[in-house]
Every structure is written in C-alpha cells, then in structure tokens.
Amino acid sequence: MRRSQVRTLSPSFLHLRQRPARDQRPATCPQADGSPVQQPGRDLFHDTLRGGSPPSRLLVDHRSPCYRTGDPLPGEAPVSTAESTWSFQDLHHLGLTVSDIERSIHFYRDLLGMELIGRRPSVTAGYVGQQTGYDGVELNVASFRISPDCRQTMEVVQYMNHAGEPAATGTNRAGNSHLCLLVDDLLAAVDDLSAAGVSFKSDPVEITAGPNKGGRVIYMHDPDGYTLEMFQPPVDAAQEESA
C-alpha cells in the first residue's frame, strides 16, 4: 500500500502513534494461569493486505486477563440447569444477510483476510422455506473462517428471491448487532484498510476507562453498512516493562 493513500490522522489521536516499534512490543499475553500465549508478529488484516499469510493462531486467549469484559457481579449465582434436559453447547456461526454476495466475499476474504471455506450458490431445499418463513426461497451462501484457530464460522447470505429492504444500521437501534474482531495493531490495520477504501465511523479511539482501559477500538462498516468493531486489548504494565 502506498502511504500517500492513507488518510490524514486527526490531531485528537496523533498521540496514539507514539508506540514502541513492533519488534520492541511484547509478543506474549499471559493466560489465566500466568503462562504466556504467543502472538503472531502481524495481524490478520494487514498481513493479508500486503500479500502475507494469515496468522497461525488467534491473537489473544479469551481466558487471559488481556481479554476483559467487566468485573464479576457480586452475589450473582448462575441459574441452575441441573434439572434441564438440554443445554447450549457453543456458538456455532454468525450469519449476515447481504445484498450482493460477490461484493461481500471480496470484502471479507480479499480485504479482511478471512478464509472462504464454503460456497452454496443455490440453496432451495424445502426445509429452508420452512425455517425462514419464505415459501420457495432461494439463498446464495458463503461461509468464512475468521482465523485458523477460530471454531465458530461466519456466513453471508443473499436472498435471490423474497429479498427485503435494507435494514437501518444505526448502533443505537434496538435489534441491531455488531461483530467484534481482535487485532494486535489497530492503528496499522486502520491505515491499510483505509487505503483499501474501507469506511470507518470514527478515528481510532483510545479506551480511557473500564476493564479494557488502555486498549484501542474502532467501528467500521462492511459493504451493506453492517457494523464491525476492531478491538486491540490493553497491554499490561508488566509486559511493557519486560519488552
């Protein structure tokens, strides 16, 4: 990517550029037991944009202190399911309805670097009409793996008939959602994706409060306006000193 293509950074977050060089930053993030988890030298986004290979593992262990969703709620015990005859096992996949599947494949595979793992260009089985509530529906489906070690997949679906109107995409609207992607260098990812024409809702934001204080975050949009969040976890002070 030519650096001249990268948009000018606003003064409000130029201080975020004052970060150690890549080879000086910590390469590990402790797991819950204190042992390190190796992180790759590059992230999924700009590795792929610059012609490299996707990373061999996830950037952050979700059990690690580096991945924090908030403080435990005092006195809150889980609801017992001991007498239930069923339980949820895992998150299987995320599904997005899109207006142009080829455009979405280009975005998620060629720009974000996700692996295209399956195509079903004409799904017309009768059960699909029952499932969706649209009799005689035909779907065009593409499935992606976000990273090599991610168990869950993402699928994009284009309705070839029974297509509806585009939904409002404001994150303040009830029923809306977003997908959050972990990244090891948010600023570099924003540079590369901006140069590729990806639309962002803001400049990169430094998290100044809460369990992820010290991290970085930004919203971007896919071709249909769906909100994607990029999140770079904070680096613990002990890691910075050891770098």
One digit per residue, pLDDT tens: the chain, 243 residues? 433 333 444 544 445 555 444 444 444 444 444 444 444 433 444 344 444 444 333 344 444 544 566 766 666 666 666 678 999 999 999 999 999 999 999 999 999 999 999 999 999 999 999 999 999 999 999 999 999 988 899 999 999 999 999 999 999 999 999 999 999 999 999 999 999 999 999 999 999 999 999 999 999 999 999 999 999 999 874 455 455
Closest to 189 in 3D by CA, of 114, 112, 115:
112
> How many Cβ atoms from other residues are within 10 Å of residue 51's Cβ?
6
Q: What is the pLDDT of residue 62?
A: 45
The gap from C-alpha 212 to its chain's centroid, in whole angstroms, comes to: 16
Write down the residue that tokens 């600023």 correspond to: 187
Please return the burial class of 82, using the count of CB atoms within 10 Å of its CB with bins 0-12, 13-18 and 19+. exposed
Confirm whether pTM is higher than 0.85.
no
Residue 1 tokens read as 């990517």
Kindly list the structural domains of the chain, giving each domain's residue range(s) and its CATH number in brackets, ordered by start. 26-66+93-242 (3.10.180.10)
Residue with tokens 């793996």: 145
Report d(CA 117, CA 111) in Å as an integer.
16
Strand partners, 97: 157
d(CA 141, CA 95): 10
Residue labelled with tokens 């202190």:
65
Nearest-angstrom CA–CA distance, 187 and 103:
25
Residue/partner pairs of 102-111 with CB below 8 Å, 24 or more apart:
103/223, 104/142, 104/156, 104/158, 104/222, 104/223, 104/224, 105/142, 105/156, 107/198, 107/222, 107/223, 108/144, 108/154, 108/156, 108/222, 109/144, 110/48, 111/48, 111/49, 111/193, 111/196, 111/198
Residues in the chain: 243
What is the distance between the alpha carbons of residues 95 and 190, in angstroms, rounded to a whole number? 24
Neighbour-count burial of 228, counting CB atoms closer than 10 A to its CB (0-12 exposed, 13-18 middle, 19+ buried): buried
Contact residues for 150 (Cβ-Cβ < 8 A; gap 6+): 58
